[in-house]
Amino acid sequence: MKETINIGLIGYKFMGKAYSSAYKNISLFFDLPIKVVMKVICGRTEKSVKRAKEKFGFLE
């Protein structure tokens, strides 16, 4: 079983989308010795953060 690294992201607009996509698909491009877990996302408004969390696949 691979060791994991938890990712926390600040922001959910353009760059938040870009980074979320990169983290979600990193294993398609690189053979990493660790598993990337998209753990937490935060931003300015609770409603927008909740929507981004669900859309991008973050756990919390």
Residue pLDDT, tens place only, 13-27: 999 999 999 999 999
- Any idea which residue has 């409603």 for tokens? 47
Q: Please give the pLDDT value at position 60.
A: 82
Dig out the tokens for 44 from the structure: 């300015």
Asked whether the whole model's pTM tops 0.85, one would answer no
Q: Please give the pLDDT value at position 51.
A: 96
Instruction: Delimit the domains of the chain by residue range.
Output: 3-56
The residue length of the chain stands at 60
Q: What is the largest CA-CA distance in the chain?
A: 37
Strand partners, 41: 9
- Any idea which residue has 């698909």 for tokens? 25
Band of the pLDDT at 1, cuts 50, 70, 90?
A: confident
State the fold for domain 3-56.
Rossmann fold (3.40.50)
Residue pLDDT, tens place only, 27-50: 999 999 999 999 999 999 999 999
